[in-house]
Amino acid sequence: MPQRANAPHPGTGGGKPPRHVAIIMDGNGRWAKARHLPRIAGHRKGVEAVRRISRAARELGIEVLTLYAFSSENWRRPEEEVRDLMGLLRRFLQTEAEDLIREDVRLRVIGEYRALSADLVAMIDETVARTQRNHGPMLVIALNYGSQAEITAAARRLATDVASGGLIPDEIDEARFERALATHDLPPLDLMIRTSGEQRLSNFLLWQAAYAELMFVDTLWPDFDKAALEAALEGFAARHRRFGGL
């Protein structure tokens, strides 16, 4: 059976750092509740953790770090909390843009982020554009992202190509489908980490995680630091990745 075009090869876990790490950043609210603080205080600490871990990832040689910042389901949260989260995103873009440029980091955003407010979309587009000449590691932020919606959109694009006569159904294989995803030009996902002890993927990178190593850690996201990331990488290095083989 032919291997997917960008599929990793068996054994790449042993002793080697992952190229692409994704993190479900969970636990901000519980961090705040344990300290009798409002939820926004947990989210502020969570932004500090984003800065800390994005730098740690670069120091540890990770090529791509993908962070689940705001899911398509997060709109169900109270309006005040959503407004606070958008404010923190604005502040992050304002304060981090120059550091990303200086540290040669490329910023990417995946998800339906254009549904956000016009001023925020403009800030995102400007920051992404300013970092595109960089050649270093990549920071990918998933905003208003849902994996089922991403997969559905990819299927719709391929169906449109078939309907227009530009594609025949037999030409649709795994590699062709992957090229229709938002992550088509990224390395395969090697490691998925979720903080706070919850053990589910929450509609994040479902296709991409097919053969990723999964780690669920009890640490709440605001407390996740370089040592915790190093421990996850050590655990990854100890695993033997077979991808269905022996």
Question: Any binding-site annotation on 29?
Answer: yes
**What residue spans of the chain are helical by DSSP H?**
28-34, 39-59, 79-102, 118-131, 147-163, 174-178, 226-237
Question: Any binding-site annotation on 134?
Answer: no
Question: Any binding-site annotation on 13?
Answer: no
Question: Any binding-site annotation on 241?
Answer: no
Question: Any binding-site annotation on 58?
Answer: no
Question: Any binding-site annotation on 200?
Answer: yes
Dihedral of the alpha carbons of 237, 134, 86, 207, in degrees to the nearest 10: -40
Question: Any binding-site annotation on 30?
Answer: yes
Question: Any binding-site annotation on 71?
Answer: yes
Q: How many residues does the chain have?
A: 246
Question: Any binding-site annotation on 213?
Answer: yes
Q: What is the C-alpha end-to-end distance of the chain, expressed in Å?
A: 15
The residue from 6, 74, 134, 203 that is catalytic is 74
Q: What angle do CA 59, 60, 66 make, to 5 degrees?
A: 95
74 has catalytic annotation: yes
Q: Which two tokens stand for residue 170?
A: 């037999």
d(CA 182, CA 76): 24
Question: Any binding-site annotation on 176?
Answer: no
d(CA 193, CA 60): 16
Question: Any binding-site annotation on 196?
Answer: no
| CA 28 vs CA 51, 150, 173: distances in Å | 15, 26, 40
Residues tagged in the binding site annotation for substrate? 27-31, 39, 43, 71-73, 75, 77, 194, 200-202
Residues tagged in the binding site annotation? 26-31, 39, 43, 71-73, 75, 77, 194, 200-202, 213
Positions marked catalytic: 26, 74
Residues tagged in the binding site annotation for Mg(2+)? 26, 213
